């Protein structure tokens, strides 16, 4: 059985994918892990859209024109539902982005467990994304998560701060 630490060590930002699309069983498993992610007051203020159609992938590549991104055989578009997010009453801080981030990391770790690679992409053109993938006004795209089988089995060395640097 894989430990959580080993799963965290195995997960990295994949930027080169094999041609094969993830199985429907793997996608269903990943979506169930997203559904079970914790969120403030359990509001789950997010929607996910799975994209694997060639024409839709081409439209996504217009929004983030990177060569490596074009190698992904599928992608999730993750949206924050602004009309459902919990807002802290003391200072009116909305927690939707936090909840979306938790859900995305569940997605990424579940994908890693299934031998799939992912990468957070936030530097896309939001105007083009909205034009190519219209969504209701209360939904705001937060990230694109390309997904597929990594083209290599080699896990790159992670560059992280040492423990002293992150503890207060």
- For residue 93, the Cα-to-chain-centroid distance in whole angstroms is 23
Q: Please report the pLDDT score of residue 40 as a whole number.
A: 98
User: How open is the CA angle 141-146-148, to the nearest 5 degrees?
Assistant: 150
Ordered domains of the chain (ranges, CATH): 4-152 (3.40.109.10)
Closest listed residue to residue 141, CA positions, set 58, 51, 11, 21:
51
pTM for this one? 0.95
Q: Please report the pLDDT score of residue 153 as a whole number.
A: 84
Using N-to-C axis directions, what is the helix angle for 96-113 and 24-35, rounded to 10°? Answer: 140
Q: Please report the pLDDT score of residue 135 as a whole number.
A: 97
Each residue's pLDDT tens digit, 10-38: 899 999 999 999 999 999 999 999 999 99
Closest listed residue to residue 111, CA positions, set 4, 2, 7:
7
Regions of the chain with pLDDT less than 50: none
- Rounded Cα distance, 74 and 148, in Å: 6
- Rounded Cα distance, 90 and 106, in Å: 29
Q: Please report the pLDDT score of residue 27 as a whole number.
A: 98
Q: Please report the pLDDT score of residue 155 as a whole number.
A: 86
Q: Please report the pLDDT score of residue 129 as a whole number.
A: 98
Q: Please report the pLDDT score of residue 2 as a whole number.
A: 81
């Amino acid at each position: 059985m894989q430990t959580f630490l080993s799963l965290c060590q195995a997960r990295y930002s994949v930027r080169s994918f094999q041609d094969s699309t993830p199985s429907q069983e793997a996608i269903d498993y990943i979506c169930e892990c997203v559904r079970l992610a914790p969120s403030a007051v359990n509001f789950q203020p997010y929607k996910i859209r799975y994209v694997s159609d060639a024409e839709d992938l081409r439209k996504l590549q217009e929004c983030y024109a990177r060569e490596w991104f074009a190698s992904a055989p599928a992608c999730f578009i993750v949206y924050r539902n602004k009309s459902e997010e919990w807002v802290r009453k003391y200072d009116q801080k909305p927690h939707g982005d936090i909840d979306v981030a938790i859900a995305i990391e569940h997605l990424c770790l579940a994908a890693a467990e299934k031998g799939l690679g992912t990468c957070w992409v936030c530097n896309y053109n939001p105007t083009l994304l909205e034009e190519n993938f219209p969504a209701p006004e209360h939904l705001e795209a937060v990230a694109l998560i390309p997904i597929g089988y990594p083209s290599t089995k080699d896990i790159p060395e992670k560059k992280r701060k040492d423990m002293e640097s992150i503890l207060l």
